Amino acid sequence: ELDSVRQDGFAADTFSGGNAEIEEFQLMFIAGSKYMLEAGAYFLPYMGLGYNRYSFHAESIAYSPGGIPLSIGEIKLEEEDGLLVLVGCDVRYTESLSINLEARFAGEKAFSGGFIFRF
């Protein structure tokens, strides 16, 4: 069940329901090698291949951006398949602090990074 619609980054003035469904499946095979550094720190580069499948379906959406009434009867994106290529690394500095960087190519284009702090 949808509760809002945005067009070009702006919320619609009025909105009357609708339904949207997204399905996604991913399967990844990843391999890496850990390189120990000094004082318990390590560097772990990895890479992998994967498979991604997704579909999207939306229906009965009525909204009004800038006072102009619009409606979407049905939008359907059939199942799309794709091969994923993944590269990344984990770097642990101390027992409680590590960093992760990851990039995905081919089937999707994404980059992510994060910190992990353990108490």
Q: Assess whether pLDDT exceeds 70 at residue 17.
A: no
Report the predicted TM-score, pTM, of the whole model to 2 decimal places.
Answer: 0.61
Average pLDDT, integer, range 51-62: 75
Q: In whole angstroms, what is the distance from residue 54 CA to residue 4 CA?
A: 23
How much of the chain exceeds pLDDT 70, in percent? 66
Length of the chain equals: 119
Task: Determine the Cα angle at 106 with ends 102 and 110, to 5°.
Answer: 35
